[in-house]
Amino acid sequence: MQRVKRIILLIVLSYIFFIFGNGLISLTNPDEVFYTLTAKEMVEQNSWSTPYLFGEPQFEKPIFTYWMIRLGFIMFGMTNFAARFFPAFFALIGVLAVYALSGLFFKNEKKAFISALVLMSSGLYVGLARTVFTDMIFSVFILLAILAFYWGYSVARRKKAGIILFFVCSALAVLTKGPLGFLIPAIAIVAFLIIKKDMKFLLDKSLIWGGLLFAAISFPWYILMINKYGTLFTHEFFYNVHFRRLIEAEHISKDTWYLYPSSMIGCMFPWSLFVLVSLIAVVKSKKWQNPVYLFLCCWIAVVFLIFQPAHSKLISYIFPLFPALAILAGDYIYNSIAAENNNRKFFRIAFASLAIFALIPIGLLGASFSSLNSYLSSKAPFYIGAAVFSTAIIFAFYYLLRYKFYRVVYLFTVMLFLFLSILALVRNDIEPYISSKYICDYLSGNYNVNNTILASKFYARGVRFYTGKDVAVIDIPGKPYFSPHPVLFLNKDDLAWDFLSKQGTTYCILKKSSVEDIQRITGGKLKYSVLKQMGDEYLVRVEPRG
């Protein structure tokens, strides 16, 4: 009965953390509109198999996430909430999976519950649950594959079912983001079994049936795309999206050795210090000699070692290891609470964590006196936010010192309600800086656009999504998209001039530097006017003189 209550509580809290208020902010540039635009164009093309972008097939990601977005459209209409629903829903599944897996590891319901709460309330997990990316769905399928294996490994009578479910979940991960959906959990498991000298566990007929089921689930879409598009698919998906990212950085500024080590800790905020101390404790006390900690270490190490050498780095790439970090942190927190009479280290970690947390209201107050004043209609939401966070810090500090860990998480839940309420107050001021919806609505509502819109590279996907019009991209001097987009790309003055002079009247949605480029390129030969500025986006019209 107690387990049922905990599961219900986790579902309710997950709804608040991941789903509640998900339609409040419009889909943001450049990635949320990328995935949602693809699903929208699949609807327009009446296709369930081929992803489309700017009217042409695109193969940056496999099909499963687009299926989920389309299913969201069917359930809720073509809305922000619909696009974000399934990443949030899978985040909820991930929380329950960590609860189940930690229970298998430690045979302790309270420890499992704490691990689930840590994952649910950690920064990156909440962020990816509330945005349209492939990473949440992909990582949860990997988590479910690992859960299935360990269920079969630790419960002898469930061995066959565990192995088969492992292959099913990893096949769905492969359909979500590619071959790593199988390689990550498989390598982690094999490494664990090799170190344990227990490879004989895999000598079972269910491995064959699982492999066949894996092939039946994951192969057909890839075979269909190869047969239909040939090298167009294989070059883009296998070379450009996978191999090229190993040897070339898509985001050069992120190609550093310290991005992933720092992200593993920082993105677990506000539990970062607990994660760091728990990792250190596993190494120093040689806990990894225990099979549970060995498995967690193999899981973390495999994900880290797969992505660390690659030159294309994004924090979300290592997201599959975050459930393991949450389990380690939950284990440490529970053990600390159980030893509350003599655990001064827990006191120091709690104090340091809350000191870091206290910087949030200070930052909010500082922001209220900064350049934000130029576009915020009122400073009141920032003062309210600072007051809420300051009050929360006092209570969180009190609860942690009294070892009332659950109450801290419940306090975060109330804070999230208040944060979303504050966000509702300032959404009209914030949206123009993160989404192209407002300026696209203004363009469509006030002007007759009957040809190609010119957009800055960062806004092009959003402009296409919100207007439905053909788009050309201006980025001088700039490089084309890392994954090729079927749009006219203008990265030289003469290319831009040729486009503008032949178009007649051209409406443009641009960043400031591109506005300056247009001014220079037209040079008085074409009539140029700024019609509207919203956030960082400028609506410009270029037309013949006379």
Least confident of 5-9, 282-286, 305-309, 349-353: 349-353
* Residue 471 and residue 436 in contact, taking contact as beta carbons nearer than 8 Å: no
3-state secondary structure 324-387: HHHHHHHHHHHHHHHCHHHCHHHHHHHHHHHHHHCHHHHHHHHHHCCHHHHCCCCCHHHHHHHH
Q: Is 435 exposed, middle or buried (0-12, 13-18, 19+ CB in 10 A)?
A: buried
Q: Give the pLDDT score at 384.
A: 64
Residue appearing with tokens 């687009």: 66
> Among residues 154, 119, 121, 162, which one has the least CA distance to residue 140?
119
Mean pLDDT of 283-299: 87
* pLDDT value at 386 more than 90: no
Mean pLDDT score of the chain: 88
Of 341 and 445, the one with more pLDDT: 445
Least confident of 106-120, 161-175, 517-531: 517-531
* pLDDT value at 370 more than 60: no
* Residue 24 and residue 423 in contact, taking contact as beta carbons nearer than 8 Å: yes
Least confident of 78-87, 193-202, 340-349: 340-349
- Write out pLDDT tens, residues 445-461: 999 999 999 999 999 99
Q: Between β-strands 537-544 and 526-534, what pairing exists: parallel, antiparallel or unpaired?
A: antiparallel
Percent of the chain with pLDDT over 90: 65
Look at the alpha carbons of 223, 318, 118, 384 in this order and tell me if their dihedral is positive or negative: negative
Dihedral (Cα; 132, 134, 140, 144), 10-degree rounding: 140
Residues counted in the chain:
546
* DSSP code of residue 284: H
In order, the DSSP letters of 393-437 are HHHHHHHHHTT-HHHHHHHHHHHHHHHHHHHHHHHHHHHHHH-SH
Least confident of 14-23, 256-265, 349-358: 349-358
* pLDDT value at 287 more than 80: no
Helix axes 359-368, 380-401, angle to 10 degrees: 170
Q: Give the pLDDT score at 342.
A: 54
Here the contacts of 297-303 (C-beta below 8 Å, separation 24 or greater) are 298/188, 298/189, 298/191, 298/192, 298/195, 299/146, 299/188, 299/324, 300/324, 300/325, 301/191, 302/184, 302/187, 302/188, 302/191, 303/184, 303/188
Least confident of 61-70, 277-286, 297-306, 414-423: 414-423
* pLDDT value at 276 more than 50: yes
Amino acid at 416: L
Mean pLDDT of 516-538: 90
Q: Give the pLDDT score at 325.
A: 97
Of 40 and 287, the one with more pLDDT: 40
Mean pLDDT of 279-288: 82
Of 184 and 203, the one with more pLDDT: 184
φ/ψ of 504, rounded to 5, equals 85, -125
- Write out pLDDT tens, residues 392-424: 666 666 666 566 667 777 777 777 777 777 777
* Residue 381 and residue 422 in contact, taking contact as beta carbons nearer than 8 Å: yes
Domain extents for the chain? 2-338, 347-434, 437-544
* pLDDT value at 381 more than 70: no
Band (375; pLDDT cuts 50, 70, 90)? very low
- Write out pLDDT tens, residues 215-229: 999 999 999 999 999
Q: Give the pLDDT score at 340.
A: 58
Which residues does 450 contact at the CB level (< 8 Å), separation at least 6?
none
- Write out pLDDT tens, residues 496-512: 999 998 888 999 999 99
